[in-house]
Structures are given as C-alpha cells and as structure tokens.
Amino acid sequence: MKALVTIKAAGKKKHLASIPLDVPGSPLTLRQFVEQIVADSVKAFNARKVDSDLVRYLTRDAIDEQVFTGKLGFDRRYGSKDADVGESVKAALLAYADGLYRVFVDDREITSLDEMIQLHEASTVALVRLTMLSGAIF
C-alpha cells in the first residue's frame, strides 16, 4: 500500500516535500513507521552518485525551491562513506522524543512512538518539523 508523507515546517503554508511511501502492512506503530521512512531515506541517500567531475548548475527556480526547504546544494554526495541505517534511525527516534518534530496521520496527532496507526490508500502522513528560536540571554 502507498501512503503520502508530507514534510512541513511550523508556520509555513507550503510543504517542504511530499514523498510517496510503500507501507508493507497496517496497523503498525509510529516507531515502525519512522524506522521505515528513515531506512528508505538512507537507502536513497546511499544510492546517490558520489562526487563527479561534471559541474552542475542550479536554475533560479531550483535555488528558490531549495532556499525554501532550508538546504541549498547540488544534490550529490561529497564523500564515499555511506550513511548508517541504525544510527540514522536512532537519531530520528531521539529527535521525536526531544520534540523536534510532530507526526499527524489523517489530521490526527500521534503522541507516542508505540501508538498504533492505521493507514489506508488515501492516508496522508504529515511530519511537522519544529524549529527552535535562537538568541542570546544577557
């Protein structure tokens, strides 16, 4: 089954990305869902080409879109070391526990990693990235 995962930033109307995701079975826990998203993302990252001699360029539209997501780059890797799935999953689960992002399934917030979620063909999953305010206290 496919579910649409939308990544959003708090306070922004436009979403950062939408990713179709194959979900093997439902119901599953939020923990299992996050593990799958991270494993798929790591696999896609590791499959990217490592630094080539071909110099790419960015169009104005590509720059504007990447600036909106908060990361501007040429979408390639600058090193041969692959990302580790286990470490990446551990970091994603810790980020959820620390409150750095929230998860909504069909407009209902999932509040625990062990909460069961039921997905169907028309399900939408929103990951809302929360950004911290920074400043100095004197």
For residue 28, the model assigns a pLDDT of 87
From first to last of the 138 residues of the chain, give the pLDDT tens digit.
Answer: 777 777 777 766 666 667 777 776 767 899 999 998 899 888 888 887 655 555 566 777 777 776 665 666 665 555 668 889 999 999 999 999 999 999 999 889 999 999 999 887 778 888 888 876 555 554
3-state secondary structure of 127: strand
Structure tokens at 42: 């790591």
- 21 secondary structure, DSSP code: E
| Distance set, CA 28 to CA 37, 40, 42, 46, 57 (Å) | 13, 17, 21, 26, 42
pTM beyond cutoff 0.85:
no
- Residue among 57, 103, 92, 61 nearest 76 (CA): 57
> What six digits make up the tokens of 81?
């070391």
CB 122 within 8 A of CB 2: no
Return the SS3 of 83.
coil
CB 2 within 8 Å of CB 20: yes
